[in-house]
């Protein structure tokens, strides 16, 4: 009988809810601010403790997220909630610092072609911007963490292949420029679990605990397999969206993000503590699904329900 080689997973895991940002930015309709506040309150009541509430981008570009400052202000009233926002540049970072967000994610695209098309900057120009953001943050005496998020890390619809050494070079450059955290995203759903495991191990070797989040799209059905592979490398924080909303504008109807509720179910089944009451999260999903009627939603657990063997792990008033 061979020695068992079962990996030891981290005891806790975090699902960072990014539905209010990555989800809503890909939906045309604008969810009213009071609905978003209800969503944040519901996610908090269900046990979620990290939420990306929006982006500090010009409102003319993403009118859906124009109320981000108001949402940060509200979310900061919830004790123990880590409030994050996406910022594309120094100007956005200034607003994140002003509003007192706990973390600002600066996206960098490892695909040069994607970076130029979407950010109008090369990857190295984004790194330079992170250095300026770091200087501004420190000068302001702010505690807002800076996360460099490397997108298109497994390939890109424009450029095609994205080489691993380039991803790792960007990761090191972000750290050198002063990012407190780095994360890796499969922006277009090209990743598979073997590639995730290999890249995430190398990223952990470089960044240690500062490499702390994986972001997987479910475009080709592999988001949860990719999370599992990432967990095996010790990474224990994942972006996900309620009802899996969001995704690639180039493939209408294709699955968007990992769905928060399915991911919570997988993690619970693995014995990882997330603090989430899945039944409460499913109730929240039902509410948000009503608000987004007509939009393409995803996930499977809402339809099948929890197994009869699923033990409630927390009580909430949701």
What residues make contact with a second copy under the rule CB under 8 A?
Answer: 1-2, 4-7, 9, 155, 157, 160-161, 188-195, 197-198, 201, 205, 218-222, 224-225, 227-229, 248, 251, 253-255, 259, 262, 265-266, 269-271, 299-301, 303-305, 307-309
Contact between 129 and 149 (Cβ < 8 Å) = no
Q: Are 241 and 292 in contact (CB under 8 A)?
A: no
Name the nearest CA neighbour of 33 among 84, 72, 85. Answer: 72
User: What sections of the chain are H helices per DSSP?
Assistant: 33-45, 68-75, 90-99, 112-118, 123-139, 164-177, 193-207, 223-231, 260-269, 278-291, 301-304
Q: Which among 267, 235, 236, 240 has a CA at the least distance from the CA of 256?
A: 240
Between CA 147 and CA 72, with CA 218 as vertex, the angle to 5 degrees is 40
Q: Cβ closer to a second copy: 193 or 275?
A: 193
The smaller minimum CB distance to a second copy, of residues 98 and 201, is found at: 201
Spatial distance between the Cα atoms of 21 and 1, rounded to a whole number of angstroms? 49
In the structure encoding, which two tokens stand for residue 115, read together? 């970076």
In whole angstroms, the minimum distance from the beta carbon of 126 to a second copy comes to: 23
CB of 231 to a second copy, least distance (A): 9
Query: CA angle, corner 101, sides to 100 and 106, nearest 5?
Result: 130
Does residue 184 contact residue 200 with C-beta atoms inside 8 Å? yes
CB of 262 to a second copy, least distance (A): 4
Minimum distance between the CB of residue 265 and a second copy, rounded to whole angstroms? 6
Start-to-end Cα distance in the chain: 48
Nearer to a second copy, 28 or 309 (CB): 309
Burial 24-40 (b: 16+ CB within 10 A, else e): bbbbeeebeeeebbbbb
Q: Which residues are catalytic?
A: 248
CB of 117 to a second copy, least distance (A): 14
CB nearer to a second copy: give 155 or 246: 155
Task: Tell me whether residue 139 or residue 303 sits nearer to a second copy (CB atom).
Answer: 303
């Amino acid at each position: 009988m061979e020695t068992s080689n079962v990996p030891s997973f981290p005891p806790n895991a975090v699902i960072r809810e990014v539905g209010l940002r990555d989800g809503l930015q890909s939906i045309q309709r604008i969810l009213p601010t009071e609905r978003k506040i209800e969503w944040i309150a519901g996610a908090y009541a269900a046990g979620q403790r990290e939420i990306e509430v929006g982006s500090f981008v010009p409102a003319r570009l993403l009118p859906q997220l124009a109320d981000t400052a108001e949402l940060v202000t509200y979310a900061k009233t919830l004790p123990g909630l880590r409030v994050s926002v996406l910022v594309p540049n120094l100007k956005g970072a200034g607003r994140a610092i002003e509003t007192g967000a706990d973390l600002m994610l600066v996206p960098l695209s490892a695909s040069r072609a994607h970076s130029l098309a979407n950010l109008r900057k090369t990857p190295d120009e984004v790194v330079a911007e992170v250095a300026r953001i770091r200087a501004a943050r420190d000068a302001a005496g702010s505690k807002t963490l800076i996360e460099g998020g490397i997108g298109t890390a497994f390939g890109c619809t424009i450029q095609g292949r994205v080489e691993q050494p380039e991803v790792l070079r960007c990761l090191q450059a972000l750290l050198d420029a002063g990012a407190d955290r780095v994360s890796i995203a499969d922006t277009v759903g090209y990743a598979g679990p073997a590639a995730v495991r290999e890249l995430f191990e190398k990223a952990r070797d470089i960044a240690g605990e500062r490499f702390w989040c994986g972001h997987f799209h479910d475009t080709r059905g592999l988001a949860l397999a990719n999370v599992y592979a990432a967990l095996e490398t010790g990474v224990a924080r994942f972006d996900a969206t309620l009802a899996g909303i969001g995704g690639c504008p180039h493939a209408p109807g294709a699955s968007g993000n990992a769905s928060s509720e399915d991911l919570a179910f997988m993690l619970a089944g693995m014995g990882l503590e997330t603090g989430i009451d899945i039944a409460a999260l499913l109730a929240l999903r039902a509410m948000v699904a009503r608000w987004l009627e007509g939009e393409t939603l995803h996930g499977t657990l809402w339809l099948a329900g929890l197994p009869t063997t699923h033990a409630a792990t927390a009580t909430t008033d949701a």
